[in-house]
């Protein structure tokens, strides 16, 4: 099977490395495509190539995924996949552009450096090509979590937009503390801040633009800041109840499957 990966950044390389196929890489920066091809043993092609492939996987930034589907869908002979992190728009756009082809939307819920892990999957139109590609991802130790576009995108408001906002807000507001005066909670938040800020700022900005969630975190922080002692205790109990509910869900369904 030959596969074209459009977008030869970190996630495009992760996908290419995870499957055992004849690979071609295309990127807006030809040097990035060349580097990916040299690293993974594939070849680089021009972004506007007229070649066709058994499967095309789009690993492009969130804001340009619909345009990429329109531009590159014609290159897919049998299957079209996206690997962008949002699902409703790509799934709809792929169905419109290639209604007669296999179609899958993927979202690895981790950075490539933390692979393997959970991969959210919407199989909009299954078939042998996408079955083989998904099996290859599983064989690398990834857990495929079937979902729907709406369920996924709603979850990302909390999992990504709200979580990133809370962590970055802490990083922006925290003062340096001597080692002897640090607490375990402070250390955990500091570690999370370092993890988030070690990534690509544009990726995080795109996530914030794609999903609501920041406003809810800001509203909760303001409510806590303005609360009386009695109001704070009530909010604390609400937070504990919400945390206990999420902990129970994780214990009973650790892989997020139904």
What's phi and psi for 93, nearest 5 deg? -65, -40
Please say whether the dihedral angle defined by the alpha carbons of residues 110, 113, 114 and 117, taken in this order, is positive or negative.
Answer: positive
State the Cα–Cα distance between residues 137 and 133, nearest whole angstrom.
6
Taking the model in full, what pTM does it have?
Answer: 0.87
Every domain of the chain and the residues it spans: 2-147, 151-226
pLDDT (tens digit, 0 to 9) for every residue of the chain, 258 residues total? 999 999 999 999 999 999 989 999 999 999 999 999 999 999 999 999 999 999 999 999 999 999 999 999 999 999 999 999 999 999 999 999 999 999 999 999 998 888 999 999 999 999 999 999 999 999 999 999 999 999 999 999 999 999 999 999 999 999 989 989 999 999 999 999 999 999 889 999 999 999 989 999 999 999 999 999 999 999 999 999 987 767 645 665 555 443
- Would you report the helix, strand and coil content of the chain in percent, each value rounded to 5? 55, 15, 25
State the Cα–Cα distance between residues 186 and 170, nearest whole angstrom.
10
State the Cα–Cα distance between residues 3 and 21, nearest whole angstrom.
7
State the Cα–Cα distance between residues 101 and 118, nearest whole angstrom.
25
Tell the CATH topology of 2-147. Answer: Rossmann fold (3.40.50)
State the Cα–Cα distance between residues 42 and 219, nearest whole angstrom.
48
């Amino acid at each position: 099977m030959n596969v074209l990966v459009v977008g030869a950044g970190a996630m495009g390389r992760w996908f290419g490395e995870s499957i055992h196929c004849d690979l071609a890489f295309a990127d807006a920066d030809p040097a990035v495509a060349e580097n990916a091809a040299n690293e993974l043993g594939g070849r680089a092609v021009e972004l506007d190539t007229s070649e066709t492939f058994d499967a095309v996987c789009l690993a492009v930034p969130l804001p340009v995924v619909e345009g990429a589907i329109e531009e590159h869908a014609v290159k897919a002979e049998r299957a079209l996949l996206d690997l962008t992190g949002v699902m409703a728009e790509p799934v709809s756009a792929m169905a419109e552009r290639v209604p007669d082809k296999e179609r899958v939307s993927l979202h690895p819920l981790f950075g490539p450096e933390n692979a393997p892990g959970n991969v959210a999957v919407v199989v909009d139109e299954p078939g042998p090509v996408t079955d083989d590609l998904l099996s290859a991802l599983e064989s690398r130790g990834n857990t495929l979590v079937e979902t729907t576009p709406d369920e996924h995108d709603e979850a990302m408001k909390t999992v990504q937009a709200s979580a990133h906002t809370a962590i970055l807000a802490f990083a922006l507001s925290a003062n340096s503390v001597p080692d002897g005066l640090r607490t375990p909670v402070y250390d955990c938040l500091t570690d999370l801040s370092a993890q988030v800020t070690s990534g690509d700022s544009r990726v995080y900005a795109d996530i914030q633009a794609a999903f609501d969630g920041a406003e809810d975190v800001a509203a909760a922080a303001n409510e806590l800041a303005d609360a009386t002692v009695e109001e704070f205790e009530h909010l604390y109990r609400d937070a504990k109840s919400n945390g206990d509910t999420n902990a129970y869900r994780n214990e009973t369904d650790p892989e997020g499957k139904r």
